Structures are given as C-alpha cells and as structure tokens.
Amino acid sequence: MTDYGHDLLFGTFITPAAQRARQVVDLAVTADRAGLDLVSFQDHPYQASFLDTSTLLAFAAARTERIHLNANVTSLPLRPPAVLARAAASLDILSGGRFELGIGAGAFWDGIAAMGGRRLSAAQGVTALREGIEIIREIWDTTISGEVNYDGQYYSVNGARRGPRPAHDIPVWVGAYKPKMLALTGAVADGWLPSIEYLPRGADSIPELNALIDGAAHDAGRDPAAVRRLMNFMNVQLSSAPRGLLNGPPAAWVDQIVDLALRHGISAFIIGGDDPSITQRFGAEIAPAVREAVERERTPAR
C-alpha cells in the first residue's frame, strides 16, 4: 500500500482543437462549473490543427472562476524556459494563483525541428529539462537580489531579470515514463504527470515506476511524498456495464479511483474524452464519492 496522503484532485484533459475553439473554451467552463479542480490542454505547437496552448490557457483562465489550469504537458524544446516562466507567473498572478506547470522534455522531434527547435536525443532532453526547471525556478524567485546567470549545457543566460513572482508556489509536474526522466522527477519535480495509456502495463506498472521516483527522491534527500502522483486517463466512458478502467458505471469508476489512490498513491485524476456530460458527472457524482471513500479509509479507526 502506497498512499502519499495528498488531497485529491480531479480534472479534464481537453483537445485544443482550433476548429472547435468555442467548444474547447465551453468545455473548460463546464469543468469549472462542475466543480473540478483542473483543466488541462496538451501542448504540441507543430500540430497545425491545435490552438497555441499558452494562449488558450490564458484565455480559458479568464473565462473560468475557480478551476486551476495547466499544460499537459508543455513541450520545453519550443518554450524557452525564461519565457515560459514569465508567462506562467503572469497567468498565475492574473488568475489569482490558478496556474500549475506541467512540463516535459519534448516528443515528436520532427515537428519540433520544423518549428525551428533543436533536435535532442532522449538523454540530452532530460538534461535540458533539468536545466530548464532550474532556470524557471530562478526566474520565479524574486527573494534573491541580482539577475539570473546560468551557464548550462543546453541553456545559458547572462543578466536575465527575475520575476514576475507567481501568486502561489507553482508546482512543477513532469511528464515522465523512462528511468532517467523518472529519476529527474523524483529528484526535482513537485509532481509526476503521465498518461495511463502510455505506461507499459497500464496501472500494473505504477508500483515499479513509483519506486523509481521514490528512490530518486530519497537519493536527493527528499521525502517521496514531495512528489504528487497525477494520472491522465485518455479513454474513458460512462456505460452501464463495467468494461475496463474508467469505462463503466460511475460506481465502478469510484471503486477504481479509490483503489488507485489508496494502493498506488495517485492523487490527481485527469480524464480526456471531451464529453461535457462525463465532465459534469465526474465533478458532481464521482469526485465527491471518491473523496468520501478515501477520507474514510485514511481516517484511523477509533
């Protein structure tokens, strides 16, 4: 049993389709009104049919009231870290602390190169991400005087101004699957944000991947609980008969999510599918039931 004890978050993963821009924003508003905690969009700037994710995040943040927002996940190779840090902090300030930073080392290198980005190997990408996260946190940190100077393998800057400072401590959630990325996540990140469909054996892979993160956290002198474990579920369906993970009646969803929370320490559940009715029921029925059940299990019996 692994439960890192985080409060639970429920969110959606919305396709940022430019053709359906209005519905995309409506879906975010639906998630907000449904009482969900997170709305997120994938970031693939080279995908011509998608909206620019940073722009969409800021626009959707203005149209919503309570929900937090994040990219799921930002493609660092096309988002220079200081630029990203300032946009993130600005949106956090404007939205009253509702922005979180999902980030990844980059995928689809042909697309990245086509946009003018630099092609890196997987190992190089991990190092570049580590540097990027360091620069982002430096830019956010205005408690230190003096400019940011950084001399890395992949990024270097002299005399960058600090700030703006975010309204809240923006957590850095890393999309990671392979050992090096998982080690980076355990060592420096505030959260792990993969998609269950990309795990080699689905939910059965979680214990070993968690263990890699936990080990790296220990090695870095951190408490493994400092790394929240989030999970995307791209293929979900509400149906009358249980057919699989998050594919069945609400009661089955609740049982499955409670199990992932208590046994695997997953504390954020982000669903795809772009279906407003599932979004609504996720917020209105499923999330409260999961919270109640997890709360009950976590409270020591008297």
How far apart are CB 97 and other proteins at their closest, in Å? 11
Taking CB under 8 A as the criterion, which residues in 230-289 touch other proteins? 240, 250, 275-277, 280-281
* Preceding peptide of 73 cis, ω within 30°: yes
What are the residues facing 69 on neighbouring strands?
39, 99
Question: Applying CB under 8 A, which of residues 68, 79, 130, 180 lies at the interface with other proteins?
Answer: 79
Largest CA distance in the chain: 61
How far apart are CB 260 and other proteins at their closest, in Å? 23
Q: Which stretch binds other proteins (CB under 8 A): 1-9, 77-85, 225-233, 255-263?
A: 77-85
Which is closer to other proteins, CB of 211 or CB of 293?
293
Of 99, 7, 8, nearest to 53 by C-alpha is: 99
Of 160, 184, 45, nearest to 113 by C-alpha is: 45
Q: What is the DSSP letter of 279?
A: H
The encoded tokens of residue 111 equal 């697309």
Could you say whether residue 104 binds other proteins (CB under 8 A)?
no
Phi, psi of 122 (to 5 degrees): -60, -45
How far apart are CB 87 and other proteins at their closest, in Å? 5
Question: Applying CB under 8 A, which of residues 3, 35, 107, 160 lies at the interface with other proteins?
Answer: 160
Taking CB under 8 A as the criterion, which residues in 40-59 touch other proteins? 45, 51-52, 54-56, 58-59
Q: Which stretch binds other proteins (CB under 8 A): 23-31, 101-109, 211-219, 223-231?
A: 23-31
What are the residues facing 187 on neighbouring strands?
none
The string of DSSP codes covering 71-111 is ESSEEGGGS-HHHHHHHHHHHHHHTTS-EEEEEES---HHH
Label the pairing between strands 156-160 and 148-151.
Answer: antiparallel
How far apart are CB 300 and other proteins at their closest, in Å? 27
CA triple 111-78-54, angle to 5 deg: 110
What are the residues facing 19 on neighbouring strands?
none
Count of residues touching other proteins (by CB under 8 A): 63
Binding mask 106-135 for other proteins (x = CB under 8 A): ---------xxxx-------------x--x
Could you say whether residue 155 binds other proteins (CB under 8 A)?
yes
Question: Applying CB under 8 A, which of residues 31, 82, 126, 182 lies at the interface with other proteins?
Answer: 82
Give the footprint of other proteins on this chain (CB under 8 A): 18, 21-23, 25-26, 29-30, 45, 51-52, 54-56, 58-63, 77-83, 86-87, 89-91, 93-96, 115-118, 132, 135, 139, 142, 145, 150, 154-157, 160-165, 240, 250, 275-277, 280-281
